[in-house]
Amino acid sequence: MLGSAPSDVSVGALPVDLVPLGGLGEFGLNMMAISCGDTTIVIDAGAMFPEADQPGVDLIVPDLAYLESRRGQVRALVLTHGHEDHIGGVPYVLPHVLGPLYAPPLALALVQPKLEEHDITHGPGLVPIGPNDVVTIGPFTLEFIRVTHSMPDCVAVVIRTPQGVLVHTGDFKVDQTPIDGEAFDLPRFAQLGAEGVLALLCDSTNIDRSGFTGSERDVEVAFEELLTRTEGRLVVATFSSSLHRLQILVDLAAEFDRKVAFIGRGMNENSQIAQRLGRLHVPTGVAIKDSDVPNFPAQEVLCLVTGSQGEPNAALSRIAINDHRYIRLTERDRVVISARAIPGNEKAIGRVLNHLARRGVEVVTESDKHVHVSGHGASEELKLMLSLVRPRYFIPIHGEHRQLARHARVAKVVTSGLPKPTAVLMPLDGDIVRFDGEGGRLFDKAPAGRVLIDSTRVGAVNDEVLRDRRHIAADGVVVPVVAINRQTGEVEGVPELLVRGFVAADAATLLAEGAAMLIGVIRQCGVEERTDPGLMRERIRTEVRRYLRKRTGRRPLVLPVVMEI
């Protein structure tokens, strides 16, 4: 075990700077840079998905200007676990890192396909770490502590610096009965508190929820009842990374003599990775392919699908409009949304629920039954963390402004009785928190913001306007305009492709054939898809981009306009 460290700052030592590059002021983009002298380490490299008013954007990652300013000094990237809001930006961050990528084995396995997709081979290596491991990087010594969350292999990070001990919790909740039997290491946090902690950086996601979050096992009773009552197929939509949830459902399926089909790209990939690492156990003979689902009686099948957030191309959205190759729902089937709606996704989720209602399918959400448990600690668990660690300084992380502010108020109340009450620092993305001989304070500003990523690899930009300008300058813009009858779903008139800045040989013929192609594509869609503007815009955008790329090799910005008449 590492030796103790003082709880306050050291006068003669090098200053330590904490620079949040994402996750302080929004949900997602979680990334924290810590610098001392000529060494910088980065904890987590998250991403977030675009909102509806960001056409052509496929992914959002933090602005990396601060890391560029520390070129040659970024010695390590450390991941706390494998959720997208902590690993989605790894392919964009890793080229700035001269040292290894340290992460739990499951997180490394989930990152590997992203690196292969971006053709990244990281010379310094991908190093698996686990609880109680210790790594030294320049003036920093890192220790990893087991925490519980909604997936396996999650750690908090203790960073021993010349100024004192920093504790970064990562995402966590205190699960007293974890699915994998690997308990939250509360004693180690208590030991750190007794030794002395300079600053605690703590997850704020669920600070506005009272009490305790509860164990992942709490959903078992509701799913047992649903498996008993459902006469047909039970279709459960959840995050493909919620491996504890998947394990519960697989175990219950085996108990109730149902086959399990993992449906959707993410669900397939993550379940295979987890099984390979021994983090998901599927009994022999229980798993079947999606193509085998029609071969079994409906009452003998449990489908685990992607699309809990209403994503247009996810499995549940295709199933909801009868557009999936193998799954056709009937009134005897039941759909469960076993996930919390991410703010901003309510409208997309509502569209999917409406389509399922047209099928006559009963939909069960967490408002109906206890089919979802958050992976983040509620207020009492966050108070417990503060009470155990008793830091000199407290920095709330991971949340929007209201969560960070509320967590700050709670910290002041919890620590008010200590001999030396905790001082609260409230940085946002880009604020530099410095610890030196003068104490801890907001010291300066670093460049921070968002970079919008286009999966065509045309480029990345710092805001939507600049991104569109660069995209248009390179390949122009194409606006497919389609009028669709609201009742029948029939195309009214001939679609039109309007272009600006897009040049191609024999453009008139190309656009005319493109319009004809669109008519054929739309007519192949089901009536429900044609009368859903959200799904239709996504289908048109995908097909036009594919058509133009195949015919011209160009990748213009495609902004579909669907008019309902």
- Tell which of 400, 420, 452 closes a domain: 452
Clarify whether residues 301 and 383 are in a common domain: no
**How large is the greatest C-alpha to C-alpha distance in the chain, in angstroms?**
80
- Long-range (24+ apart) CB contacts under 8 A made by 128-133 are 128/103, 128/104, 129/102, 129/103, 129/104, 129/155, 130/104, 130/105, 130/155, 131/155, 131/185
pLDDT at 4 over 90: no
Which pLDDT does position 7 carry in this prediction?
41
Closest-CA residue to 322 (of 288, 350, 352): 352
Clarify whether residues 58 and 186 are in a common domain: yes
Question: Is 8 domain-assigned?
Answer: no
Mean pLDDT for 495-520 is 85
Which pLDDT does position 250 carry in this prediction?
98
**Cα separations (Å) of 18 from 21, 82, 138, 319, 440?**
10, 22, 16, 46, 10
Clarify whether residues 85 and 64 are in a common domain: yes
Residue 534, domain extent: 476-564
- Tell which of 333, 364, 395 closes a domain: 364
Clarify whether residues 422 and 517 are in a common domain: no
How many C-beta atoms lie closer than 10 Å to residue 381's C-beta? 21
Clarify whether residues 124 and 251 are in a common domain: no
Question: Is 508 domain-assigned?
Answer: yes
Range with the lowest mean pLDDT among 42-51, 287-296, 392-401? 42-51
Cα dihedral angle (96, 98, 101, 102), rounded to 10 degrees? -130
Q: How much is the pTM?
A: 0.82
Clarify whether residues 445 and 538 are in a common domain: no
Select which of 203, 251, 290, 333 is catalytic: 203
Clarify whether residues 121 and 172 are in a common domain: yes
376 is catalytic: yes
Q: What CATH number corresponds to the domain at position 490? A: 3.10.20.580
DSSP type of residue 205: T
Select which of 83, 149, 355, 376 is catalytic: 376
- Tell which of 364, 387, 419 closes a domain: 364
Clarify whether residues 347 and 225 are in a common domain: yes
Count structural domains, the chain: 3
Question: Is 427 domain-assigned?
Answer: yes
Question: Is 540 domain-assigned?
Answer: yes
For the stretch 184-200, pLDDT in tens is 999 999 999 999 999 99
Which pLDDT does position 10 carry in this prediction?
60
Clarify whether residues 27 and 58 are in a common domain: yes
Clarify whether residues 139 and 227 are in a common domain: no
Q: What CATH number corresponds to the domain at position 287? A: 3.40.50.10710
The two three-digit tokens of residue 550, written as one number? 């195949």
Query: Which is more confidently placed, 420 or 275?
Result: 275
Closest-CA residue to 151 (of 62, 87, 77): 87
For the stretch 430-465, pLDDT in tens is 999 999 999 999 999 999 988 888 665 444 544 555
Q: How would you class 353 by CB atoms within 10 Å of its CB: exposed for 0-12, middle for 13-18, buried for 19 or more?
A: middle
12: pLDDT confidence band, cut at 50, 70 and 90?
Answer: low
For the stretch 92-111, pLDDT in tens is 999 999 999 999 999 999 99
